[in-house]
Amino acid sequence: MKSSKTLLQIARESVRLHEVEFGRVLNSLYPYNKLADVVLPISGALDEGFWFRIQDEFHIQTTNLQISQKTYKVELELYVSFHGDNEFWYKNPSNSYVETNHLATGGAHGAYREVLVTLNGQLVGSVIPFPVIFTDGINPLFWEPVVSIGALDLPTYDINLTPLLDVNTETVKYEVSSIEIQCKSEFVLLGGEFEVEGERSSQATARVNSSFGDLKTQFTEKTKFKSKLKFKSEGNKKELDPQINSYTVFNVTL
């Protein structure tokens, strides 16, 4: 069970590797999008339930990973689950709303969450999770400790790290823009409106040398998030309109 003081998400990952045999020459990119040859699980400690538990925006979890030199494509699959005060993060009000109304709740920090992924200290990707409504998200009386299989579809998110396989750091161009977040809140007592907008983009270009060939990889991604939240009936009724748009292009040429 998560502590109710937890501010951010729990995450665990796996890395999918695509490998080729040394000395093998291929003239087609046909196998490039096949299923991964190797899946490397990344998880936390046993006493933490194998999760990377993130307590607040300053908490960082790290791990070490070794990738085969035969790898020509690598993707990080990220799984995110929210608990405690962030179980319903998508309808959390601003800090000023909680402080002004003297509310004894940890469910604040606004309706925006983002998971950042770094490699050797460099920001290489980010994910704005898709809002998932649990049973008591509609009404606390609907809470169920266990639901049927498939009732809650928590998606995974892929971050392509292929350009970072280039051993020649001078030829790697990897850029993740700083996040741009705009927040607006207007409230009187327990009624009000809150708007949050966020946008981030990333792009990378590199050459990956392997027995598959000398591959030029180009990756571009842009994600936008917008949320409108209304508190009505003295805060007892909430209306939510979240929007997440993601655009990804990945090109590979010999």
| DSSP 8-state symbol, 22 | T
User: 150-174, pLDDT tens digit by residue?
Assistant: 667 778 888 888 887 765 555 567 7
pLDDT-wise least confident of 19-28, 193-202, 211-220: 19-28
Tell whether the model's pLDDT for residue 22 goes beyond 70: no
Does the predicted TM-score (pTM) go above 0.85? no
Q: Specify the pLDDT at position 230.
A: 92
Side chain identity, residue 116: L
pLDDT band of residue 228 (cuts 50, 70, 90) is: very high
- The residue with greater pLDDT, 65 or 213, is 65
Report the length, in residues, of the chain: 254
Instruction: Between 165 and 233, name the one with better pLDDT.
Output: 233
Residue 23 has what pLDDT?
42
Q: What is the mean pLDDT of residues 175-179?
A: 76
Q: What is the mean pLDDT of residues 232-239?
A: 87
- DSSP run (H or E) holding 243: strand 237-253
Across the range 4-33, mean pLDDT stands at 48
What are the tens digits of pLDDT across the range 5-18?
A: 444 444 455 555 55
Residue ranges with strand state E in 68-212: 71-81, 115-119, 122-127, 156-160, 173-176, 180-188, 191-210
Give mean pLDDT, residues 135-144: 75
